[in-house]
Amino acid sequence: MIRFIPYAVVLLIACAAVGAPAQTSPAPTEQARTPADLYGELFRAVQLGRVFPDGKTFVDVVPKRPPAAIMADYRRDRPAGDALRRFVLANFVVPGVNDVGALPLREHIRRLWPTLARPAKTAEPGGSAIALPAPYVVPGGRFREIYYWDSYFTMLGLRVDGQGTLVESMLDGFTSLVERYGRIPNGTRTYYLSRSQPPFFALMLDLGADAEPATAARRLRALRREHGFWMEGARVVRMPDGSLLNRYGDDRDVPRDESYAEDVATAREAAPRPAAQTYRDLRAGAESGWDYSSRWLRDGRTLASVRTTDIVPIDLNSLLYAAERRIAERCRAVADAACAAQFGRRADRRRAAIDRYLWLPGERRYADWSLSARGPTTVLSAATLYPLFVGLASADQARAVAATTRERLLAPGGLRTTLVVTGQQWDRPNGWAPLQWIAVEGLARTGHEPLAREVAVRWLATVGRVYRETGRMLEKYDVEEIKPGGGGEYPTQDGFGWTNGVTSALLERYPDLDPAVRAEVAR
């Protein structure tokens, strides 16, 4: 005879057999609450706002402090957009985003150098790489070859981080490039050979060790040959009084290989202007290193109005002044009096032309000059500090530029590039490591040490904060909102050679800044 047992009894027996409760689970304890339970409205804002592409990212975070404290701060400020992402990164360890080891910044940079170093390069048939005879350092990210002006700022860090051998091998590489091509190309790719970049070779040589006489003579020959490249052809400009200054250029007038589709689109937008002229101006903008900036835009806003070859830039002419001074000094050191006198006169003439055409005392700034308008442009940029950096500015000029820098270019996170928002990467709100170094060095050498230190503190705080949030050293930063920078033709790159170099050099210059930087980042 089969007995029917009530269902409730069966359930009780089964539960007892497995040790399970015989009733509905109670509300979760604090420890068992899910992220949605714990963070409520913050959770919904993050997930619905797609702060992270993968919805699993935020649910796996680890809070850096008690959830109640985090939520109190969230409810007080209710950040949104980029501010919400920064809030999350500041308050949580996010897997795959900011969960790297918390090495001190300087130690992190020292560990990056080997990852950015490359052995001597042999060119491969059919490839675009140019051979280099000795090891070198690349910027990182998409920049897999050595770049000209980047390398000066990278070398600053290599030198103070005990990598003097790499500095020397990079100098040998650049000397070799001048010997083979008559110039240092934009980078070591065949598609860069038609242009150079801001001529920092003379200043790079200052970072080298005292070379033996044969090496010193070879480097001086290369320096003079590079100067000759800048003083021939379309890069030379005759000003209204007959004096000579320089502009950026490129030997070709076709789309850049590395940005072909972008250049074709820009030229189409610029029509009916001849496409060849647009291509040449885009290429000249790439030679400037400021690719791209309102400095080169006729309307100050759109890339299709690019006119780089119409501009006589203050930074280029300051660097050529520095090169002429150093050639004169090096010639004097080897008793070549004729060379020393010749280049001394060239430097003096350039300085006089800069003072006449590129210095605006009423505006307390150095300016770029428009050839077509026959007058200075209206764009204030961080390039105004180059004459201070190379020792070209008088005490009165330096004082005026320092005042303009403090009042108009200094942002919460460092030095602004320009005051114009265009979406181009060399404009506001971005700041760049090389421009911070030029400002700090230029201000300090002209007696404005407090302002130099202020620029350094703010910039290092920006780099430090983003490093602590992301574990990365970036190509550029937003110095208005103190976050990764943006704009331009490609995503912001990490690595990053010149940011590493300038950061190490500034921390070496101001060793007492470490506590100040930590306090600034923690605010």
- Check if the beta carbon of residue 326 is closer than 8 Å to that of residue 202: yes
**Which of 419, 513, 509, 500 minimizes the C-alpha distance to 458?**
513
Token digits for 332?
A: 């004097």
> Which residues are catalytically annotated?
291, 475
- Check if the beta carbon of residue 38 is closer than 8 Å to that of residue 92: no
Q: What residues contact 165, with CB distance under 8 A and at least 6 apart?
A: none
**Which of 357, 359, 352, 351 minimizes the C-alpha distance to 391?**
351
Count helices and strands in the chain by DSSP H and E runs? 20, 16
Q: What residues contact 476, with CB distance under 8 A and at least 6 apart?
A: 425, 430, 431, 432, 484, 485, 486, 492
Phi, psi for residue 371 in degrees, rounded to 5: -70, -40
In whole angstroms, give the CA distance from residue 376 to residue 482: 32
SS3 411: strand
In whole angstroms, give the CA distance from residue 309 to residue 246: 10
Eight-state DSSP code of residue 140: B
SS3 44: helix
H or E element, residue 148: helix 148-160
- Check if the beta carbon of residue 467 is closer than 8 Å to that of residue 401: no
**Which of 381, 380, 490, 364 minimizes the C-alpha distance to 432?**
381
Q: What residues contact 132, with CB distance under 8 A and at least 6 apart?
A: 120, 121, 146, 173, 176, 177, 188
H or E element, residue 108: helix 105-116
- Check if the beta carbon of residue 368 is closer than 8 Å to that of residue 314: yes
